[in-house]
Amino acid sequence: MTSLLPPLALKDALVLRGGALQSGSVALAEGRIAHGAVTEVDLSGYLVLPGIIDLHGDGFEHHIAPRPSARFTVADGLASYDREAAAHGVTTAYMAQGWSWEGGPRGPDKAEEFMQAVQAYRHQAMTDLRVQIRAETHLVAEADRLIEAVRRFDVDYVIFNNHLAEARQMARLAPADFTAWARKIGRTAADLTRDVEAATALEKSVPRSLRKLAEAFDAMGLHYGSHDDPDAETRSYYAMIGAKIAEFPTTRSAAAGARAMNNPVLMGAPNVVRGASQAGNVSASNLVQDGLCNVLVSDYHLPALPLAAWALMDRGILDLAQAWALISTHPAQVMGLRDRGEIALGRRADLVVVHAASRKIEATICAGRLTHLSGQAALRFMGLGRAQTALAAE
C-alpha cells in the first residue's frame, strides 16, 4: 500500500460535485476530502471526478491465467489487476469469482483459494479490492460451505447465476464451443456434460437452497441479487427471496420489472461502448436512455468504465455528471458505501484526475493515496508543471 499524500489542494480544476461540474479546488488530508491545505497542485485544464466503483469485473481472470494452460499465482494476478484498475480510475473493485458446478477455476475449492489470496493481499493493495461471489443456483450441496466462506472471508456481495440452460444449448447446438469451454477450465467435454446433467437433476432442491442462502445473507447484512434475468417474472422471483440487485437483465422487460420493484439494474460498460451486447442481449445504452439502468460495471473490460461515460455524453444520452454517476455515485448507493462515490467534505479522497482535452486519466487517488500518475499531471504533482509552462512562454 502506498503512503498517504500530504495535505494538498488540487487547484483550478473543473470539479464534479453536487451533480455538476464546477470550477474550483479539492482539498484532501489524512485520506479524506478536507478544508483548505497549504500545498497546492495546479490542475487547470483538468477534471477532478469521483473515483470509479466497479461492482462486477471478471477481467482479473486473465491476469491469473493469460492462457488456459498458463496460470500464474493468484497474488501476482491480483497485483497486475490492481495496477490496471488504478490506471483506469477505479478506486473500489468487486472481482466476480465463480462458485460453480463447473469446477476448475470457478469451483468452490478455487473460489476459497481466491478469497484467501485477496484477504492476504489487501494490506498492500492500491485499490479497494473486494470479492463478489457468482453462485450457481444448482450447486445446492455446497450451500452451507458458501455461507461459511462468505462469513470467513468477509464477502459482502453475492449474485445468483443459473447457466444450465446456456450450457445445455451450447452442448446441443455448438459442441465445438462446449468442448473449448471444458478445455478452458481443465475438463473434458464428457466430464462437463456429466456435471451439467447432475446439476440439472437437482432442480427441485434449488428453491429451498436459495431460501436458505437468502436467510443467511440477510442475517449477515450481505447485498445479493441475480444475474441474467430473462424476464420480469424471474426478477420478481428473486426479489421476493431478497435478491434485490438485477445484474445484466437480458431483456428490456426484465429491466423494466426491476425498475417497477425499485431494484437497481446493473449493466455492462462494454455493451455501452460497443453499442451492443456481445451476447446479443438488450442494449445497455437503450436502457440508460430509458431510465432503466442504475449502474455500469466493467464486466470483462476495465477500460470500458470511463469510456462508457464519455460515450453516453457524446451520444447526447446523458451529460457527464449523470454518466459519471453510473460508475461512481450510484454504485456506492447500491452497496451502501456511504464514505465514497461523491466529492464531499469528510468522504474518502477517492479521485480521478482527467486531462480535459485528451480525456486521458492521468492520476488516480484512492483513500488519499496516489495509485496512478502519468502525463502532464505527473509534472504538476511534482511541482514542475508551472515552471515548464513559464519556460515555454519565454
Instruction: Identify the weakest region by mean pLDDT among 78-82, 107-111, 275-279.
Output: 275-279
pLDDT at 390 over 60: no
- Measured between alpha carbons, how far is 9 from 18 in angstroms, rounded to an integer? 19
pLDDT band at 394 (very low <50, low <70, confident <90, very high): very low
Query: What was the pLDDT predicted at 277?
Result: 80
Specify the CATH architecture of the domain 8-50+343-393.
Answer: Roll (2.30)
pLDDT at 388 over 60: no
Query: What was the pLDDT predicted at 392?
Result: 40
**Owner of C-alpha cell 453475492:** 158
Query: What was the pLDDT predicted at 83?
Result: 98
What percentage of residues in the chain have a pLDDT greater than 70? 97
Q: Where in the chain is the domain with CATH 2.30.40.10?
A: 8-50+343-393
What average pLDDT does the structure give for the chain? Answer: 94
Instruction: Identify the weakest region by mean pLDDT among 37-41, 87-91, 170-174, 246-250.
Output: 37-41
Topology given in CATH for the domain delimited by 52-334:
TIM Barrel (3.20.20)
Which residues, other chains included, contact 334 with Cβ-Cβ below 8 Å and sequence gap of 6+?
55, 223, 245, 264, 266, 294, 295
Query: Closest by alpha carbon to 111, among 122, 123, 98, 124?
Result: 98
pLDDT band at 384 (very low <50, low <70, confident <90, very high): low
pLDDT at 71 over 90: no
pLDDT at 69 over 80: no
Answer yes or no: are the C-beta atoms of 241 and 214 closer than 8 Å: yes
pLDDT at 112 over 80: yes
Average pLDDT on 268-293 reads: 91
Q: What separation in angstroms does the CA of 212 have from each of 207, 208, 356?
A: 9, 6, 50
pLDDT tens for each residue of 184-203: 888 899 999 999 999 999 99
Average pLDDT on 72-101 reads: 97
pLDDT at 30 over 90: yes
pLDDT at 391 over 50: no
Which ranges of 131-229 does DSSP label H, i.e. alpha helix? 143-152, 164-173, 175-184, 189-200, 206-220
Residue 251, judged by CB atoms within 10 A of its CB (0-12, 13-18, 19+), counts as: middle
pLDDT at 150 over 80: yes
Q: Where in the chain is the domain with CATH 3.20.20.140?
A: 52-334
Query: Closest by alpha carbon to 49, among 87, 16, 80, 7?
Result: 16
Residue 292 CA to its chain's centroid (Å): 19
Answer yes or no: are the C-beta atoms of 91 and 364 closer than 8 Å: yes
Query: What was the pLDDT predicted at 37?
Result: 79
Average pLDDT on 241-264 reads: 97
Instruction: Identify the weakest region by mean pLDDT among 86-95, 97-106, 145-154, 312-321.
Output: 97-106
Query: What was the pLDDT predicted at 375?
Result: 96
pLDDT tens for each residue of 198-227: 999 999 999 999 999 999 999 999 999 999
pLDDT at 354 over 80: yes
